[in-house]
Amino acid sequence: MQLANLILAQLINGITLGSLYALIALGYTLVYGILLMINFAHSELFMSGAFVGLGVMTLLTSSSIAQKFPVLAPAQAFFTGSNVGVFFMLMIVFLVSMLVVGIMGVIIERFAYRPLRHAPRLAPLISAVGVSLFLQNAVLLWVSAQQIPFPNPIGNGIAFTIGTVDVSVLKVIIFVTAIVLLVALDTFISHSRFGKAMRATSQDREAAGLMGIDINFSIMLAFFIGPALGAVAGIFNGMYYGSIVFNMGFLPGLKAFTAAVLGGIGNLRGAMLGGFVLGIAESLASGFISTGYKDVIAFAILILVLIFRPGGLLGESVVEKV
């Protein structure tokens, strides 16, 4: 019974972790699907989302801010005075962060990647690494090099209990949000006019252009949606772990990339599946082997997938070198 509860607890932790990986992995897979390019700056956009979210949350709740700007005091009283206020405050935090980070993704595409669209594959990859280092060091220099506490307005309340394992409200919200966003994105890509334009662009850019599709807009849309989803993951990551730091995107970014490859990079559902598989594998490794081996397990999975199934669990064979 004790073993069953331990397995159940690790599965729940793994699903929560996998939800975060899946949200980040969707950004990698969107960009790869449309440009056949790995956006290594995506992990820093995930980090930027956490910092923007913290900034907005501080603006809406901090009493010291209200002392400097009294006009904010009534709004802060509403946002902190009831559960309804907290709900609206979180909605504003997520929406503003998604918008800001999405625009950052569009700007990065316009100035760092678009001029290199017809260059050899290595050029945009190097540009992506450069953007990643720039963003990381910008936060290091302009914000802080230290761990910054991240509040959790949702609290540590228990949503329900399975056996003797408590499942917190935050874990439920992270999982449900990830599923809802995946379904919304999948529906958007499959059925909307803009989604069809993005699919056409990913299949054959030149042919799509000849058919009247605005290729630049389709690519720009991918660079807006992916980072916006990464921003959601960044805020949840801060609330879940309780702090953020300038280099917080490195490991989750690598693992989300692993998840995207595991599920089949370029495949939205595959990225989601890969995120959950990786999160659960990592959590079980932490619980039954050692927390020190969880990263080893993640990257061992990446190596095995690249060797035995390079196209991923749901993807097709990757025939082009990146």
Q: Going from the first residue of the chain to its last (322 residues), give the mean pLDDT of each consecutive group of 10, the final group possibly shorter.
A: 82 93 91 84 94 94 86 87 90 96 95 88 88 94 93 88 88 95 92 90 87 91 94 96 93 87 84 90 86 80 80 61 38
| Tokens, residue 313 | 């669990």
Residues 6 or more apart whose CB falls under 8 angstroms from that of 145 comprise: 245, 246
- Burial degree of 308 (CB within 10 A; 0-12, 13-18, 19+): exposed
With contact defined as beta carbons under 8 Å apart, do 29 and 184 qualify?
no
- Which residues are within 8 A (CB) of 93 and not within 5 positions of it... i.e. 6 or more apart? 53, 56, 57, 60, 235
pLDDT of 322: 37
Only one residue has tokens 């929406």, namely 95
Indicate the residue type of 113: Y
Q: What pLDDT score was predicted for residue 102?
A: 96
**Cβ atoms within 10 Å, residue 292:** 9
pLDDT for the residue 22: 93
The predicted pLDDT at position 319 comes to: 42
SS3 of residue 193 by DSSP: helix
Rounded Cα–Cα distance for residues 274 and 60 (Å) = 36
Where does the chain show beta strands of DSSP type E? 148-149, 158-162, 165-168, 243-244
Residue 1 has what pLDDT? Answer: 62
Q: Give DSSP secondary structure letters for 54-105.
A: HHHHHHHH-HHHHHH-GGGHHHHHHHHHSHHHHHHHHHHHHHHHHHHHHHHH
Q: What is the pLDDT of residue 316?
A: 54
Structure-token pair, residue 222: 């991918």
pLDDT at 177: 95
- For residue 109, give the nearest of 194, 227, 2 by alpha carbon: 227
Q: Is the pTM of this model over 0.85?
A: yes
In contact, 24 and 261? CB cutoff 8 Å: no
